Amino acid sequence: MKLSEIKKYLKNLTQIGFQLPNGNLVQAHFHVTEVGKTTKSYIDCGGKVRHEEKINFQLWEEKDYDHRLHPDKLLQIIAMSEKMFDLADLEIEVEYQGKETIGTYNLDFDGTHFLLQAKLTACLAEDACGIAPEKPRIRISDAGSANACEPNSGCC
């Protein structure tokens, strides 16, 4: 989700909810402790230099059960960040403290809640690394009889 999208959704909400990939909701007394821009420069395994910029939100829960972040307050925090960091309409990445470590998630929206979506790693230079593309899998029953061998024909 891009920054422009979350701002559009927040304008139409009366409360904010974040849902974890397992279906549980982040506690209603969460805080957004950071809104910022992260920049990452790196070399992939094929030797290509890459640069990424993302908007970063950090969610935090504490025992402040009376605190509720309202959509208009988050819009104000976003507006301050846009001015301070000259934010472009970038993808949003969300950090959230899990049981063992901080998890990093992509963000989506289902009409009611913002969905924290698990991120996956991948090789960015498969062609340079020698990783063969995965062959498509088909069922033998779907192959048809045109390529089938006759029993006792010696082709199998």
User: Could you read off the pLDDT of 45-57 as tens digits, one per residue?
Assistant: 889 999 999 999 9
User: What does the alpha-carbon distance between residue 57 and residue 81 come to, in Å, rounded to a whole number?
Assistant: 11
User: Could you read off the pLDDT of 4-15 as tens digits, one per residue?
Assistant: 999 999 999 999
Mean pLDDT rounded to a whole number for the chain: 88
Tokens of 23: 């279906």
Rg (CA), the chain: 23
Q: In this predicted structure, what is the pLDDT of residue 105?
A: 96
Q: In this predicted structure, what is the pLDDT of residue 61?
A: 83
Location of structure tokens 């089938």: 148
Q: Assign 141 a pLDDT band (cuts: 50, 70, 90).
A: low
User: What does the alpha-carbon distance between residue 32 and residue 26 come to, in Å, rounded to a whole number?
Assistant: 12
User: Could you read off the pLDDT of 68-107 as tens digits, one per residue?
Assistant: 889 999 999 999 999 999 999 999 999 998 778 899 999 9
Sheet holding 92-97, edge to edge: 18-19, 114-118, 102-109, 92-97, 49-60, 31-43
Enumerate the H helices of 1-156 as residue ranges: 3-11, 71-85, 126-129
Contact 88, 36 (CB under 8 A): no
pLDDT at 130 over 80: no
Q: Model-level pTM?
A: 0.77
Pairing verdict, β 18-19 and 92-97: unpaired
User: Could you read off the pLDDT of 28-75 as tens digits, one per residue?
Assistant: 888 899 999 999 999 998 899 999 999 999 998 877 777 788 999 999
User: What does the alpha-carbon distance between residue 42 and residue 59 come to, in Å, rounded to a whole number?
Assistant: 26
Q: In this predicted structure, what is the pLDDT of residue 154?
A: 61
